[in-house]
Structures are given as C-alpha cells and as structure tokens.
Amino acid sequence: MPKLPPSPARALLRTGLRLFVLSVVAESVEASPERAATLEAIRLIENPRNVSRPGPGGELGPWQFKAETWRMHSTRPFADALDRKEAFRVACQHYDWICRGLAKAKKPQDAYHVALAWNSGLYAVLRGQSPGRAHRYAERAANLAETLRHGPLVAAHDPSPPALARVP
C-alpha cells in the first residue's frame, strides 16, 4: 500500500492524539497516591542518597533498575536510568506491569506485593518462591509507603541538635 503524503489535517490529528495520550499518562501518574507512595518508598530503600554509580549487580538510577528491566519498558540507553524524569517514567511503567501481573493472578496489588515483585521478580511472587530477604524488603517498603501516604516523612538524619527545654 503506498504511503499517503502528509497533510496538515493528518499532522494536526496526530499531534492532538499525542497530546491526549500524554495528558492521560500525566493524569494517571498524579491520580494514584498508592503508586506515588509505593514508588517513593522503593526509591528510598533502593537509592536513598541518589548515588549515580552502578549497584553491585549493575543496577542504575533512583530505582536501581537492572538492564533487563529497563529494556522491558524503554528503548533509550540504559545509562538514561540516571535521568530522574526518564527513570520515573520507567518506574511507573514497571509498577503498572507488576500490578497487571498481580491482578491477572488474583493477587493483591498493594505496596507489599508490588515491592515484593520489584525485589524478587513477579514470577517468583506468583509461584510463591520469593526469598525471606525479599519479604523483609517488601515489609519495609509497605511500612514506608503507608507513612508517606499519611503525612510528611520525618528526616532520618537531622544535623541540628535537639532543643532543650528550660526548667524554671
């Protein structure tokens, strides 16, 4: 089939469709406090100091992606996992992929199960073969996500000395 020459109407339609898709994606990212809290909890556990050097298994970025996971959701170079905006986009896609897999298997899509799959792999969770360390990771992430959903997180390290109360 021959390719039709571009027309202004077709270009406008294509641009409008792209803008619509981007707005839906942006709304879904902002509309899910559960996802936002879970992803932030995972990021705080994976890379709390935002280190840019690779992890012990070659993981990169705020969510410590492995190269295989990155390639599941992005065609951009793995080094772009260090780009916070791109890493967040991939983290959202990975979160959604995990939730779809959990839903299909009729498992809860809560912070605990998402973090468990993030750490040990979706298929290990579905087969009931996640190791103990992954369960401890998931507990930490779920507790942290719960804290994040209900208010500001108190800094773990506050360099200022505590205020002393004066006794009259």
Q: What pLDDT, on a 0 to 100 scale, did the predictor assign at position 114?
A: 98
Integer Cα distance of 12 and 26 in angstroms: 21
Beta strands in 2-151 (DSSP E): none
- What residue ranges do the domains of the chain occupy? 30-149
Question: 13-71 pLDDT, tens per residue?
Answer: 444 433 333 333 444 445 489 999 999 999 999 999 999 999 999 999 999 999 999 99
Convert the pLDDT of each residue in 115-145 to its tens digit: 999 999 999 999 999 999 999 999 999 999 9
Q: Give the residue, 38 or 153, on which the prediction is more confident.
A: 38
| Residue found under tokens 């779809």 | 100
Strand partners, 65: 60
pLDDT tens-digit readout, 87-104? 999 999 999 999 999 999
pTM for this model (two decimals): 0.72
Structure tokens at 104: 């299909």
pLDDT of 152 reads 59
User: Is pLDDT above 60 for 156?
Assistant: no
Instruction: Give me the CATH topology for the region 30-149.
Output: Lysozyme (1.10.530)
> Above 70 in pLDDT, residue 154?
no
Q: How deeply is 121 buried, as exposed, middle or buried, from its count of CB atoms within 10 A (0-12, 13-18, 19+)?
A: middle
